[in-house]
Amino acid sequence: MTSNFRPLPSLTEARAESVPGVKLQQLRRATLEAREAFVAGGPVASVTTCDLITFPYPTQFAFSGAAMSPAPYVMMTNRMQVVQFLEDGELRTLLFNPSDYERGYAAPFFRSLRERYGAFVSDKVMSTRHGSVESHLEALGLKPADVDYLAFDHLHVQDVRRWVGGAGESAYFPRAKLLVQRAEWEGVKNLHPMQKAWYVPNGTAGVPEDRVVLLEGDVWLGPGAAILSTPGHTLGNMSLAVATDREVFVVSENGVATESYTPLQSAIPGIRGFAEHMGLEVVLNGNTREHSLDQYSSMVVEKLFAGPSPVEGAFVNFHPSSLLTTSMLAPGLSPTVVLPPPNFGDVRSSAASRRAA
């Protein structure tokens, strides 16, 4: 299987600007042009959203210190999108953020959290497992051989070896290729000390080169499906953009809630005041500060590309890959609005899988 992805128009030139303020203005214009072309290309075949696990995350990071609550943690629900689109007339299946959360506990930050609170509190009180990648695919009637591509918005807490092979492991997905920005892939191989807390040690070790597709910026996967380059949270951060016949939406972890993109609409104590005082139109998910100016600009790109929600017009049609979730453990930190999870069309088995069977 070869990939013939093409770039989205306009964005590449805007990204080349070196002055951050000028770049942001150029990205605003370029994003609207790219969105118009993307929508004109037609809708995706199908998309389904699957909840994986609800987990604790430091409040100080979730809204860059703006949220006012005594709770040390917010709760977030990690989600996977199963996206089907046409590539050269063939149906392709992409799993976006298929987190192997069992192995994600090995990331130093979450390992230390489990050591502090113990397995029972960590697994039974502070976390809720909704389903695994494998169980969700089985429920959708998909086999491992149906999956063509895997992608993550970034590689924090990810271990991809079970999925695509590596370090002596066989691959659960026999055909799937990992789509990843070159900057992210090279960065995870050579971590800076300030990055290490969030990455699973050796989570990419031994992955065969032929199972990895290194991306350079934005790519148009097929009608209704694209990857946006949204660096800043990590060097190679990227976002999923999907067009259906009803809406355009964007998925990433740049923001932990839809209101991260419209902070003046937020009812969470502290968010609106922080945004007004600082003159900000977005509020960053700030556990890492690799390139905060770029992350801000990337969130503006996501905001403009997604556009308003068709069900909550005052909010942006952004769906966090790890969604702020109401919990008694996090008083005052419930989302102001939760958009319906993006689902469209009917997921079906691919011809490649049928041939393999």
- Span 8-56, pLDDT tens digits: 989 999 999 999 999 999 999 999 999 999 999 999 999 999 999 999 9
Residues 234 and 187 sit within 8 Å (Cβ to Cβ): yes
Q: Give the pLDDT band of residue 353 (cuts 50, 70, 90).
A: very low
What is d(CA 88, CA 81) in angstroms, rounded to the nearest whole number?
22
How far, in Å, CA of 349 to CA of 26, rounded?
Answer: 41
Architecture of the domain delimited by 11-345: 4-Layer Sandwich (3.60)
Residue 11: CB partners within 8 Å, gap ≥ 6? 27, 30, 31, 34, 217, 218, 228, 229, 301
Q: Are 30 and 11 in contact (CB under 8 A)?
A: yes
Q: How many CA atoms lie within 13 A of 337 on its CB side?
A: 21
User: Are residues 274 and 66 in contact, defined by beta-carbon separation less than 8 angstroms?
Assistant: yes
| CA–CA dist 110, 127 (Å, integer) | 12
pLDDT at 1: 44
pLDDT of residue 355: 52
pLDDT for position 263: 98
CB 255 within 8 A of CB 282: yes
- In DSSP notation, 308-325 reads B-SSSTTSB-EEESEEEE
Report percent pLDDT > 70 for the chain: 97
What is the per-residue pLDDT across 78-96, written as a single tens digit (0 to 9) for each? 999 999 999 989 999 999 9
Q: Write down the domain spans for the chain.
A: 11-345
DSSP H or E stretch at residue 21: helix 20-40
pLDDT, tens digit, for every residue of 207-262? 999 999 999 999 999 999 999 999 999 999 999 999 999 999 999 999 999 999 99
End-to-end CA distance of the chain: 17
Which amino acid type is present at position 48? T
Q: Residue 351: which pLDDT band, with cuts at 50, 70 and 90?
A: low
- Tell me what pLDDT residue 159 has: 97
Mean pLDDT of 257-272: 98
Mean pLDDT of the chain, nearest integer: 94
Burial class of residue 210 (count of CB atoms within 10 Å of its CB; 0-12, 13-18, 19+): exposed
Token output for 236: 């190679």
Tell me the two tokens of residue 69.
Answer: 């609550």
Is the predicted pLDDT of residue 182 greater than 50, yes or no? yes
pTM of the model: 0.95
Question: Quick one: pLDDT at residue 249?
Answer: 98
Share of the chain above pLDDT 90, in %: 91
Q: 19 exposed, middle or buried (CB, 10 Å; 0-12, 13-18, 19+)?
A: exposed
- Residue 3's pLDDT is 63
What value does the mean pLDDT take over residues 99-126?
91
